[in-house]
Amino acid sequence: MIAPPAAPRRLDPVELGILLPVVYASVFKSPVRSSDLLPRLAGARATADEVRRALGGGPLRELLVEEDGLIWLRDPERHRLKPLFAQREIATRELLSRNHAILSFVRSLKGVRLAALSGGCAHEAADDGDIDVFVVTEAQALWRTLLLSTLVAKARGWRRILCMNYLVDATAQAMPWRDFYGAFEVISLRPFKGEERFDGLLAANPWIESLFPNFLSSRLHGQNSPNRTHLASPGGRLLETTARMIHRPYLRYRLPKSAGVELSDHVVRLHATDHRTRLRGLFKDALQNIGVEAPSWI
Q: In 10 A of CB 13, how many CB atoms?
A: 14
Domain containing residue 118:
97-221+229-274
Residues 131, 103: Cα–Cα separation, whole Å: 9
106 and 234, same domain (yes or no): yes
108 and 20, same domain (yes or no): no
105 and 176, same domain (yes or no): yes
Beta bridge partners of 137: 112, 169
Residues 48, 283: Cα–Cα separation, whole Å: 25
Per-residue pLDDT of the chain (298 residues; tens, 9 = 90+): 445 556 567 899 999 999 999 999 999 999 999 999 999 999 999 999 999 999 999 999 999 999 999 999 998 888 999 999 999 999 999 999 999 999 999 999 999 999 999 999 999 888 888 999 999 999 999 999 999 999 999 999 999 999 999 999 999 999 988 899 999 999 999 999 999 999 999 999 999 999 999 997 666 544 434 455 555 666 679 999 999 999 999 999 999 888 889 999 999 999 988 888 899 999 999 999 999 999 999 8
Question: What CATH number is attached to the domain comprising 17?
Answer: 1.10.10
For residue 237, tell me if it sits in a domain. yes
58 and 120, same domain (yes or no): no
29 and 145, same domain (yes or no): no
261 and 139, same domain (yes or no): yes
128 and 189, same domain (yes or no): yes
For residue 241, tell me if it sits in a domain. yes
For residue 47, tell me if it sits in a domain. yes
58 and 158, same domain (yes or no): no
162 and 50, same domain (yes or no): no
101 and 164, same domain (yes or no): yes
For residue 296, tell me if it sits in a domain. no
Total tally of structural domains belonging to the chain:
2
122 and 196, same domain (yes or no): yes
**What is the pLDDT, as a whole number, of residue 218?**
63
**What is the pLDDT, as a whole number, of residue 222?**
41
For residue 3, tell me if it sits in a domain. no
For residue 1, tell me if it sits in a domain. no
Give residue 70's Cα distance to chain centre.
19
34 and 119, same domain (yes or no): no
Beta bridge partners of 133: 117
Residues 180, 173: Cα–Cα separation, whole Å: 17
Residues 136, 296: Cα–Cα separation, whole Å: 30
Q: What angle do CA 211, 216, 222 make, to 5 degrees?
A: 155
For residue 297, tell me if it sits in a domain. no
For residue 35, tell me if it sits in a domain. yes
